[in-house]
Structure 1
């Protein structure tokens, strides 16, 4: 069992999981107290739409993921500020809308690209040293 720790990718994945677990547990307290438990899912699915559009158009997928994620957060905050609907309702609407856009963009691609789904589901075993520095 300890033989697995001899591999660099395994060391990086365990370290990344421990760091992200620690950070998320601290941030999670504030997220739940503010009633924003749904915001992570909504933002990640919005970013997925950006990644899919990036692959479809040949643009940088991570840049579009950032744009879509920030736009979703901004729209959610704007809707709450105007008092038009509850925060979790606006997050739910944007969650489903952006996920549908992501699926639409994937459907418009001429070839299947498994890498797009990797952005949504990820793989802790493929953490690079650069990503480890970003997490830290």
Structure 2
């Protein structure tokens, strides 16, 4: 199995897995703490509209997905902040609109769109060097963002109104974190696919929440669990020749089940 490390495509997959694991681990901790899980789901599925539109127009699908993801994130944040529409309604609107637009443009495009299947279910072995560079830049940006704004983000995650009384730039930070979520979703597509990407932003964070109460410890544990589960899932999927995205998610679920059982056993004893 480790002979695969001699191949460039697997090296690309491994590097990308580690970078995405760290990025999603950190961002997902904020998402879970602020109870924004379904917002990330709405952004994820809205990006499918960008994939379909980009494929129809003949340019890079990831670029279209990035544009739609950012627009969906901004739309949900702006409209819910101004209380024009309820947040849960907005999530449903963007979720269904993105999927509908994607399906429509794929249908209108002559021929068959086989490459789009990798965006739905993930295929990390097709990751390119350019996507690795983007993952590196995003990972560095996230690390710097959380290092600079850790305390304000902590306040916003648990009490948004209290944060305003401390003169924290809530709108600025929320806009930044929504942009990061959108970019994480796009870069995670090749790894887990649109259908499974939400698990990357929730399961490792749920495990970290069972292990630690401290927010800083949850950030570190979530990034570690996300990275470890991704790497193990990648090697298992390559060895068994099964889809990488689904295997990684199953590894997360095994970690979650094991942690839950251990905690339950300890509480009883």
Structure 1 match to 2:65: 65
Match of 2:145 in 1: none
Distance 1:18 1:34, change over 3 A: same
Q: State the Cα distance separating 1:60 from its structure 2 match.
A: 4.6
Aligned CA RMSD, in angstroms, stands at 1.9
SS at match of 1:24: helix
Residue-by-residue CA offset, 1:64-106 (whole Å, 9 max, x unaligned): 3232222211221122112244423311221012111111211
Of residues 50-59 and 93-102 in structure 1, the stretch that sits farther from structure 2 once superposed is 50-59
Q: What is the aligned partner in structure 1 of residue 94 from structure 2?
A: 94
- Is 2:42–2:94's contact at 8 Å kept on the other side of the alignment? yes
Name the count of aligned residue pairs.
136
Contact kept, 8 Å, 2:49 with 2:97, in 1: the verdict is: no
Q: Structure 1 residues 82-91 or 98-107, which shifts more?
A: 82-91
Distance change >3 Å, CA 79–CA 112, structure 1 → 2 = same
Q: Say which is worse superposed, 24-33 or 39-48, in terms of deviation.
A: 39-48
Find the structure with the greater CA-based Rg: 2
CA distance in 2, matches of 1:56, 1:134: 24
Judging changes above 3 Å, is the alpha-carbon distance between structure 1 residues 64 and 14 closer, same or farther for their aligned structure 2 residues?
Answer: closer
Change in Cα spacing, 1:124 to 1:69, as seen in structure 2 (3 Å) is same
TM-score relative to the length of structure 1: 0.85
1:24 counterpart residue number: 24
**Which residues of structure 2 form unaligned runs of 5+?**
137-269
CA distance in 2 between counterparts of 1:72 and 1:30 reads 19
TM-score normalized with structure 2 length? 0.46
* Over 2 Å off, 4+ runs: 57-67, 84-89, 116-122
2:124 is the counterpart of 1:124: yes
Gaps of 5+ in 1: none
